[in-house]
Amino acid sequence: MLTLIHTARAFAALLVLAAGAALAQAPAADTASSPALAVSPALSSTPSAAAGIKPPPAAAPANPYGLAALWAQGDLVAKATLVVLVIMSVSTWYVLITKLLAQRRMGGQGRAAAASFWAADTVRQGADTLDKASPYRFIAESALEATRKHDGLIGQVDLNTWVAQSIERAVNTVHSRTQEGLAVLATVGSTAPFVGLFGTVWGIYNALVKIGASGQASIDRVAGPVGEALIMTAIGLAVAVPAVLGYNWLVRRNKVAMDTVRGFGSDLHTVLLAAQGRRSAATPSASAAPAPETQG
């Protein structure tokens, strides 16, 4: 009886030990057998290689809109408006560049007149030292011509007044020459935005007509034609802004140049009157002959 009891206790102890061993090995087996928890040896050994892989950049889609599409899809009115804006832009830059060169040349002529004209002995010699295209020589020649042609009806006018008027007319002629081309800039600056706005309105009108005829009002159908039409307004502003800025800049530079020209004319007037006064003083006036004595 005792032997059976000891045998049963030994068997129960073996069962307990077997169950404990089975429980200890179960998590490891489950982890190894589970595909979700298993880690690939290649990935675990080279994590940096997997992280350094970059996808190829996606190619940028071609833009179906822009100036090329505006010209290709535009009608005669839209193309004519774009051509007018281009002509305005070319005219603006042509006038701006040519006037800047002319003002620079005029400034050099003014410096030459200040250096050589007043160092001459006479006005004639001073005028001969200046360039034939110089406005300062033109004014000097006009003043000399006024002193030579002071006869006839003109001779009844005071020499001071006649010379002053001649110099003033010459200065006004020079001023008119400096204003040439500025009207183009003023016209372009004031009308280019409205020309561009007209192109925009016309383009939006045509776009809405096409959208209504197709019956598709999705964003891709609306954004393209309307965006192309708005380019006209941007072009008009891009043409007008340089014209306005160039006009104001050239007017300011002309004012500075004309101040120098008017100063030259005023000094020339003074020199001519002084020279005429010296000649008049050097020429003795004809005195009246004494009356003959009456002989008885």
Is the pLDDT at 223 greater than 80? The verdict is no
Is the pLDDT at 229 greater than 70? The verdict is yes
Average pLDDT over residues 17-45: 45
Is the pLDDT at 250 greater than 80? The verdict is yes
For 144-174, the pLDDT digits (tens) are: 888 887 777 766 777 788 888 899 999 999 9
Higher pLDDT, 21 or 171: 171
- Arithmetic mean of pLDDT over the chain: 75
Higher pLDDT, 7 or 214: 214
pLDDT the model gives residue 220:
62
Average pLDDT over residues 176-199: 92
Encoded tokens for 90: 């070319």
Where is mean pLDDT largest: 59-63, 171-175, 203-207? 171-175
Domain ranges of the chain: 72-195+237-278
